[in-house]
Amino acid sequence: MTGSVEYAWARVAARQSRRPDAAEWHRVETPRSLAGVLDAARGGGLEPWVEGLDGRAHAHAIEAHLRARWRARVDEVARWMPDEWRPAVRWCAWLPDLPLLRTLARGDALPAGVDDPAWHDARPGPPRAPSPLAPLAPAWRVGGDVARAWSDAWRHRWPRRDATLAALDRTVAAHVAAFRTADAGTGPALRAAFAVALRSLFRRATASPAAVFVHLAQCLLDGERLRGELLRRAALPRVPLAP
C-alpha cells in the first residue's frame, strides 16, 4: 500500500496529541523501582516503549528492547509515507545504534553483554553491500565518525530538498555538537532547549514531509529520557534517587 504525505501528517498529528506531558513524566520519574516506572509508563504515551518489559529486565535487555521498539515505530511511520520518502524514513531506524556502531568503527570491542544481530555486518570490518549498514562504511576510514556518515546517507535519501527538513538537520547537528562538549549538569537544559526547537519546527512543517521527521526526533527524545529512567533503576537499584 502506498501512503501519502497527507495521510502521514494526519497520523503524526494524532500521535503528537498522545506524547507524554509534564504530569506523565512526573508519574514516570517518581517511582523508585524499575517495576514502578514500567507501571507508571503504561496507559499513556510511553506505553509503546515499555510493552513487553517487566521489572526483572537487566540493563542490556532494556537497551535491546528499546532499540527494537524504535525500529518498529520507524517502520510503521514509513508505511504511512509515499514510496519516494520511505528510504529516508527507514534510515532513521539506525539512530539509536550509532554510538555502538561508532565503537565498532573505531575498532574497539563492545561492552560485555552488548550485542545485536543487526550489527553483525559491521564487524570485524566495515559493512559492505548488500548490508543495510553499508552506507556507514566511510566511518571505518575516518576515525569512527558514524554520525556524519549517517547524516550524509540520510540526505542522499531525500527525494527532493525541503527547507524545514534542512532546518531540522541543522538543529539536530547543533544539539549533538553542544552535547559533545557539555558537562553532566547541563544535559537537562540542552534537552529542554532541543525540545523547544523541535516544537517550533513541527509547527513550521505542517502537512509536509518534514513533519514526519520532526515527529520521529521528538519520539526519540522521549525514548532517550525514558531510557535514562529505566536504566538508572535497572543498573543501580540501591542508589537513592535525587530529591
Distance CA 40, CA 4 (A): 35
Give 158-191 pLDDT, tens digit per residue.
999 999 999 999 999 999 888 888 887 888 899 9
105 phi and psi angles, rounded to 5 deg: -65, -25
Give 106-127 pLDDT, tens digit per residue.
999 998 889 899 999 998 889 9
Burial of 109 (0-12, 13-18, 19+ CB in 10 A): exposed
Q: How many helices and strands (H and E) does the chain possess?
A: 11, 0
For 12, the enclosing helix (H) or strand (E) is: helix 5-16
Which amino acid belongs to residue 98? Answer: L
Judge contact between 63 and 231, C-beta under 8 A: yes
- For the cut 70, the answer to whether the pLDDT of residue 1 exceeds it is no
Average pLDDT over residues 52-81: 95
Locate 105 and state its grid cell. 568503527
Average pLDDT over residues 199-215: 95
Dihedral in degrees, nearest 10, Cα atoms 75, 80, 81, 87: 10
- For the cut 80, the answer to whether the pLDDT of residue 237 exceeds it is no
pLDDT at 240: 58
Give 67-117 pLDDT, tens digit per residue.
999 999 999 999 999 999 999 999 999 999 999 999 999 999 998 889 899
Give 6-46 pLDDT, tens digit per residue.
999 999 999 999 999 999 999 999 999 999 999 999 989 99
Closest CA to 121 of 139, 138, 137: 137
- For the cut 80, the answer to whether the pLDDT of residue 51 exceeds it is yes
Q: How many CB atoms lie within 10 A of CB 25?
A: 19
pTM of this prediction? 0.93
Locate 57 and state its grid cell. 529486565
Which amino acid belongs to residue 122? Answer: A
For the chain, the distance separating the N- and C-terminal CA atoms, rounded to the nearest angstrom, is 50
- For the cut 70, the answer to whether the pLDDT of residue 243 exceeds it is no
Residue written as grid cell 552488548: 114
Dihedral in degrees, nearest 10, Cα atoms 34, 35, 39, 45: 30
Give 131-158 pLDDT, tens digit per residue.
999 999 999 988 889 999 999 999 999 9
pLDDT at 149: 95
Distance CA 13, CA 62 (A): 28
| Residues 6+ away with beta carbon under 8 Å from 113 | 60
Locate 48 and state its grid cell. 509503546
Closest CA to 157 of 73, 96, 84, 72: 84
- For the cut 90, the answer to whether the pLDDT of residue 3 exceeds it is no
pLDDT at 12: 95
Residue written as grid cell 523541535: 198
